[in-house]
Amino acid sequence: MKKDMFSYIWTDKKRTLFGLPLSFTRYFLTETKLITRKGFLSIEEDELELYKVTDKKLVMPLGQRIFGCSTIVLHVKNDVDTPIKEIRSIKEPRAVLELIDKQIDINRDKYNIRGRDMYGGEFHDGDIDTDDF
């Protein structure tokens, strides 16, 4: 697969010691997905559909703030393997959070979904017996 097949809006590496990108974890933001790629020889990728994000949080521990980094935590609805996604120790986290938020809104408008549409249990027509009313 060619590298230029995807149009990345943002990409960065997880920062480690002294805020340097010396990690084999890389983050990619496209128009519809957030992709996390981990590993050197054996690579594991995890994709997250942006319209499924229900909540965002910015976590700024002292050790990361000293080097200008922070962590973004995303809560995802209907994602079995990663219901909570962490984008760990990245530079310019507020700008990245704004990019993610913008893409979430664009994707929700595209699929005509709002955050409130993803809450609550599933309802089926046969669940309620109308004779009881």
pTM over 0.75: yes
pLDDT tens by residue, 43-61: 999 999 999 999 999 999 9
Q: What is the pLDDT of residue 115?
A: 56
Residue 123 has pLDDT above 60, yes or no: no
Residue 103 neighbours by CB under 8 Å, 6+ apart: 9, 29, 31, 32, 50
Interval 73-78 mean pLDDT: 93
| pLDDT tier for residue 90 given thresholds of 50, 70 and 90 | very high
- What b/e readout covers 38-69, taking b as 16+ CB neighbours within 10 angstroms? eeeeeeeeeebbbbbbeeeeeeeeeebeeeeb
Residue 5 to residue 8: CA distance in whole angstroms? 9
How much of the chain exceeds pLDDT 90, in percent? 70
Tell me what the pLDDT averaged over the chain comes to: 86
Residue 80 to residue 115: CA distance in whole angstroms? 18
Interval 107-120 mean pLDDT: 76
On the 0-12 / 13-18 / 19+ scale of CB atoms within 10 A, 76 is: buried
Residue 130 has pLDDT above 80, yes or no: no
Alpha carbon dihedral 46, 52, 58, 63, in 10-degree steps, equals -10
Specify the CATH architecture of the domain 3-111. Answer: Roll (2.30)
Interval 26-53 mean pLDDT: 96
Q: What is the pLDDT of residue 30?
A: 96
Q: What is the pLDDT of residue 23?
A: 93
Residue 132 has pLDDT above 90, yes or no: no
